[in-house]
Chains A and B, each alone.
Chain A
Amino acid sequence: MKYSYFPGCTLRNKAKDLDDYARACAEKLGFTLEELTDWQCCGGVYPLGADEIASKLPSVRALNGAKEKQQDLVAVCSACYHVLKRVNDDMANVADIQTRANNYMALSEPYKGEAKVLHYLEVLRDKVGFDNLKKQVVNPLTGRKIGAYYGCLLLRPGSVMNFDDPENPTIMEDFIRALGAEPVVYPYRNECCGGYISIKEKEHSAALCRRITDSAAGFQADCLVTACPLCKYNLENNSELPIVYFTELLAEALGIKEVR
Chain B
Amino acid sequence: MNKVEEIKTISGVNPLKCMKCGKCSASCPSFNEMDIKPHQFVTYVINDDVEALANSKSAWKCLSCFACIERCPRDVKPGKVIDAARQILIRQRGQEGLSADEIPALLDEETPQQLLMSAFRKYRR
Given that A51-B10, A196-B122, A200-B98 are known contacts, is A157 also in contact with B114, CB under 8 Å in the complex? no
Instruction: Tell me, rounded to whole Å, the shortest Cβ–Cβ distance linking B122 to chain A.
Output: 5
A9-17, A61-69, A100-108, A252-260 - interface stretch: A9-17
A44 touches which of B67, B114, B123 (Cβ 8 Å):
B114
Q: How many residues of B contact A (CB 8 A)?
A: 36
A180 within 8 A of B: no
B100 within 8 A of A: no
B29 in contact with A191 (CB, 8 Å)? yes
Within 8 A of B (CB), among A4-55: 8-10, 13-15, 41, 43-45, 47-51, 55
Within 8 A of A (CB), among B54-83: 61, 63-67, 69-70, 79-80, 83
B118 in contact with A195 (CB, 8 Å)? yes
Instruction: Tell me, rounded to whole Å, the shortest Cβ–Cβ distance linking B85 to chain A.
Output: 11
B15-23, B35-43, B45-53, B105-113 - interface stretch: B105-113
Bound Cα distance from A152 to B70, whole angstroms? 10
A79 touches which of B63, B65, B114 (Cβ 8 Å):
B114
Given that A50-B12, A51-B10 are known contacts, is A77 also in contact with B114, CB under 8 Å in the complex? yes
B117 in contact with A152 (CB, 8 Å)? no
The CB with the most chain A CB atoms within 10 A, among B79, B84, B97, B112, is that of B112
B-chain residues with CB within 8 Å of residue A55 when the two chains form the complex: 121
A199 in contact with B115 (CB, 8 Å)? yes
A230 in contact with B115 (CB, 8 Å)? yes
A9 in contact with B117 (CB, 8 Å)? yes
A9 in contact with B10 (CB, 8 Å)? no
- Name which residue of chain A comes closest to B98, CB basis: A200
- Name which residue of chain B comes closest to A158, CB basis: B70
B30 within 8 A of A: yes
B121 in contact with A192 (CB, 8 Å)? no
A208 within 8 A of B: yes
- Name which residue of chain A comes closest to B106, CB basis: A199
A41 in contact with B29 (CB, 8 Å)? no
A183 within 8 A of B: no
A136 within 8 A of B: no
A233 within 8 A of B: yes
A236 within 8 A of B: yes
- Name which residue of chain B comes closest to A47, CB basis: B121
A50 in contact with B70 (CB, 8 Å)? no
Instruction: Tell me, rounded to whole Å, the shortest Cβ–Cβ distance linking B15 to chain A.
Output: 14
B65 in contact with A44 (CB, 8 Å)? no
B87 within 8 A of A: yes
Interface residues in chain A, defined as those with a beta carbon under 8 Å from any beta carbon in chain B: 8-10, 13-15, 41, 43-45, 47-51, 55, 77, 79, 152, 155-158, 166-167, 191-192, 194-200, 204, 208, 228-230, 232-233, 236-237
5 contacts between A and B (CB under 8 A): A44-B115, A48-B84, A152-B63, A197-B63, A200-B106
